Amino acid sequence: MDANTLFLMRVFKRYYKEWVPVMPDRFTRREFGFMFFDKNFVQRHISFESPTELAAFMKSKVPSHSYYSTSYYRKPDAPTMEEKEWLGAELIFDLDADHLEGAASMTYSEMLVQIRTEMMHLVDDFLFGDLGFSEDQVHITFSGGRGYHAHVRTPDVMGLGTHERRELVDYITSSGLNIDWVFPYNRVTTSQMSRGTGVMSNVARDRLIPPADSGGWRLRMRNALMDVVNDLYDGDVRQFRLDYPSTKGVDKSTIVKAQEEVTKSRKVLFQRNNMAVLSTSTQNLLVNVMKEDVAHRLSGEVDEPVTADIKRLIRLPGSVHGKSGLRVTPITRDQLTTFDPLQMAVPEVYTDDPVKVTMRRDAKLDMLGEHLSLSGETEVPEFAAVFLIGRKMADYGHLSEEDTRPKLL
């Protein structure tokens, strides 16, 4: 092992000497898995009969990454999935910052702020909102790395299969959302004369707006349409195109016409829940904006493979993440609002003793109340060294030193 690995292992060993397990519910039915500093695979098919047994394992083995199954099994330590006898699984939602648009250009702190916002949106609007779970049924955890997990453990979700879980993902992400279901045509029966015979025709003329007592995506889109109409009413055409990219190819005169129409009739639109007061071109403009721009913005962020997988391993609460040194931390919804991993997920056993490191690139770091501006060969508190080395932003020791390998305890 190199100096970086030995340093992390030494600090993790100290952490697990004092570690008190945070056990998942029905933990004897869970499979556990671990990665170690000297191995590049997950050792799994392990179970524990007591918190004491798990604690002893962690102290002696010092894993770099620790996991447990979201599933419950009759025989969790059986060597094959078939032999384990699946009994059910939590419903898991995993949000990781590497899925964010532009994540590559963000700092760690910026990524974590953005993904925290996405998690609040997912929890408040979908899990608590549309899906109706209560706060005591949704268990939120900081992953220790770049994201958050939400676990739902109600009996009615335990038996859901992969297909049903994918449907929940589709609902949250608006995948396959039918705009004609949200804003259906108002079909009006008219009479026509054909060869002297009266013929009744069902004609689609104008779009309907979901009423105020709607729920789910219909209510979400009704409220968002109000915002779009107000933006069109208040703003200039150039700004409207910037805010809603789907309108960039639309002729300016069409948007000006739409602006004039909503100025006259925006209130009556939502009183009648009907777009009949608008021209066909304006109705098409608004519906296209809702379909192409707004639905995506209203969607929740979800990692589909994680939610759909009924035999998933996920981070063990209370363990430390091998690529950051931060603690996998259970938090409440209220705590999520202001949760800052670099202040709140740093294990207490990490000290502020100076550690020599060599930065791989210049960086700024705000951690445990300290602002660090780092470059080249420098010294940082141990808690910062763990994070920087784990994130591969720095190497242990100074380049000028012949032997920087730390000694294990």
* CA dihedral sign of residues 345, 351, 353, 359: negative
Q: Strand 91-96 relative to strand 138-142: parallel, antiparallel, unpaired? A: unpaired
Annotation marks residue 251 as catalytic: no
Q: Where are the alpha helices (DSSP H) in 235-300?
A: 237-243, 252-272, 280-289, 295-298
Retrieve residue 257's tokens. 């016409």
Count of H-run helices and E-run strands, the chain: 16, 17
d(CA 17, CA 407): 17
Tokens in use for 312?
């998933």
Q: Which residue has the tokens 């939400």?
A: 150
Q: Is 353 marked active-site?
A: no
- The whole-angstrom separation of Cα 165 and Cα 91 is 8
Q: How far apart are CA 378 and CA 366, in angstroms?
A: 16
DSSP state for residue 132 in the 8-state scheme: -
395 is catalytic: no
Which H helix or E strand runs over 331?
strand 329-331
Asked if 182 and 218 count as a contact pair (C-beta separation under 8 A), the reply is yes
Options 2, 94, 130, 353, the catalytic residue:
94
Rounded Cα–Cα distance for residues 249 and 212 (Å): 32
Phi, psi of 401 (to 5 degrees): -85, 140
Residue 322 in contact with residue 8, Cβ under 8 Å? yes
Q: Which of 25, 38, 96, 236 is catalytic?
A: 96
Residue 324 tokens read as: 């950051």
How many CA atoms within 13 Å lie on the side-chain side of 100?
A: 23
Spatial separation of the C-alpha atoms in residues 136 and 333, rounded to whole Å: 10
- Please pick, among 124, 125, 130, 303, the residue that the annotation labels catalytic: 303
Instruction: Give catalytic residues, as residue numbers.
Output: 94, 96, 303
